[in-house]
Every structure is written in C-alpha cells, then in structure tokens.
Structure 1
Amino acid sequence: MSCQMNKEKYDQMISQLSDKELVKHLYLTQIFLWIGSILLSMLVFKSNSLLILLFKVEIHYFYIGLAAGIAVVLIDILLMNILPEKYQDDGGVNHRLFAKRNPFHIAVIAAMVAFSEEILFRGILQTNLGLFISSFIFALIHFRYLYNRFLFANIIVLSLLIGYLFKITDNLWVTIVMHFVIDFLLGIIIRYKLFGYKTLVGRMSESPPSNNENTDSK
C-alpha cells in the first residue's frame, strides 16, 4: 500500500515536469555524478593515474562492448514483444526523454550517461567495494525502476553483467561502449517506434502537453 502511494506521488511529480525539464534534470544528475566521481577518486586513489590505467585503448575491447550492448538490446526487444506492457512501465520517463530527441541528441545523452555512470560505478565503486555492492547501488540510483519489480530485477542483472565484463577485462572502455550502445539503440527504438515499441506507448506517452516542451528536428 505504501509503495503504491509512493509510486502515485512519483508519477504525479513526473507528470508535472515538461519533457524539456526532464532532460534538464537528467543532465544535472549526470553532472552531479561527475562531481561525485572526481571527489571519490581523490579519496580512494592515491593518484589519478590509477584510474586512467583502467582505460585500455585496444580495438578488440571496443568490439566486446559493442557485441555485449547489441546482445542486451536484442534481449530487450524480445522481452518487449512477449511480456505485458506493465512489465515495461517506468512511468513513461524513457519515452518522454527520447521520443522527441533527434539521433545526435540521443547519442549525446547516451555518451554522457555511459561515461559518468561507468567511471563512478565500475571504475571507482566496483574497484573498491566489489561487484555486488556497486551493482546494487547502481540499481538504486535508477529509482524510477524501484516501483516495478521486473524493471528493478532487470537493472540489477544488467548491472551485474556490465560489472562482470569490467571484472574480467579490467577495462572501462568495454563497459562504457556497452552502456552507450544499450542507451543509444533503445533511445532510437523509442524515437522511431521500432521493433514493436509502438505497442507499448499507449498510456505511457499520454503526458500532458506543456508550453515549455521542445522537439528536436529529425
């Protein structure tokens, strides 16, 4: 009952924000993560060079991240088409973030999120706290999924998978590329209603129009 009430309050809060404001909040969140990463790196690493060592520029690592990201998106497409809509319901946030953005803007968002989150959660937290704790914290910051058990379990499994790839490769480029590919491709799927996404839009896209809303050009 309490969880349901909290979800209703959350949905109400989100519905009061325009799409432009949602994107602004996303950027602000990523900036705070960047700042947090810088501060934490100063505390846990004796030298910034130790963090830089986690970036290994070798082409096969990029292929690993690319292949892993595409595999996750293919699984998401499959689940999108076989599971009821309620399992995919994040309150319409992802739809509102991406549905009116152009591909370049989607790429910018995906890149910013991938860099900030992977440096913090894999490069700093997982390196110092371990795979499971960092993955759980990663899931918690995606708080809009807390009200949907399937999505919350989904984000934990995804975080464990990304974390495991970092553990076996010891390379942040793998996880950054993987994270970018997932967010970018899912953003494109939402933007152009591909692979059955149109069947999920329904009530999730029925957010009140706002005079502050802006739409990127195609």
Structure 2
Amino acid sequence: GTVIVALSSTAPSVIRDMYPNCREAGISLLDSPVSGGEAGAVAGTLAIMCGGEKHVFDEVEPLLHHIGKTATYMGGTGCGAVAKLANNMIVGCNIGAVGEALAFAVKAGLDPMTLYNAIKDGFAGSAVLDSKAPKIISRNFEASARIAVHQKDLKNAVDLADELNIEIPMSRMIFDYMNEMESDGMVNEDHCAIAKVYEKRMGVEIK
C-alpha cells in the first residue's frame, strides 16, 4: 500500500490528527523528521527519527538509509515528531550557551577564536560548537538553519509542554529570545545569530 514518510518537522498534534484520515484512505503514515542540516542531507548522513506502526517502519527502513546514517524507530504515531522537538530543544539551548559564553568571554577580555580553539577538544566540545562558533566569530549569519524554522519547533515544544503541564525553562527562554529576534527582523538569519541577543545585553561584539 501507499506510505507517506513525512520528513518535515511537524507538531505532534498535527501528525496525530493526520493519522486517522490517512488510515481511512488506506495510507500508512510515518512521521520521520530529520536532524543534520543541509550538510547532512547532501552527504546522506541525516539522523532520522520515526513514529508510526512498526511494520511500516520495517518496510521502509532500507529506503531511509539512502538519505540517513541512522533511522531509529521511536514508537507510535507522533513519537518521531516529539523526538525532533527534543532534538531541537537541545540544539537551541546549546547554541544559546555558545553565544552566551562567547559574549561573556569577549566582555571579560578574551579573544573568542583563541577561546574556541582552547575548549573545542575538551568536554565543552560539540557538533554545535564546531559548526556555529566559527560562524559567530566570523560574523557569518547566512542561514543553513533559519531562526524562523527553529523558532517554530520551539513553539511546538512549548505548546506540548503546556499541554503536559510541565516546565521547560531553558527552551522557553531560547524561544523568547528567538521571538525577540523576530521583532528585530532577523528571523531569516542562521539560528546561531541568537548570539546577537547576548551581544546586545552585554554591549559587545563577538569577533
């Protein structure tokens, strides 16, 4: 039968609303958002998080490995979408921490590239640090992942947290900062441009 593999980042509630309509039409739905950015897509090394019926995942898994390094079954319908929200919560908080730490270091008199080179191979090292710190320091905010898209994902995370009646304070703060960037007309810049929020608050420029 027909299988829809939804690779976009979609709110879990939307996926779950789609499921009965697809089933009624005889269509299987697999929510399968990805992580790894444009570079991962080009290289075929994306991480794919899948939600839906297990037998449907088993059927399409070989195809998913043509675009992804990993394809992980997360559970029932909507679970892939929730996994993507968790992924982007971590990425958002990590990017915020990088921006905050670099602005703090510059304010205290350090050279940001020297700091990056000093810490990148230690416990603070991460894919986010390696891909975003040099962009911030070189003032390259051309988007590989736009603020607007990350903002949308964090809104979905905040909405789900409210539905679950739980607090996600770090992610909510990053979401608020992205809303501030929207007000400042910067939503089409790379999400590492969130460093500008910290620069504004500390009165510095990271370079």
Give the TM interval when normalised to the shorter protein. under 0.3
More strand by share: 2
More helix by share: 1
Structure label with greater radius of gyration: 2
Higher relative contact order (CA 8 A, sep 6+): 1
What TM-score do the two structures reach when normalised by structure 2?
0.24
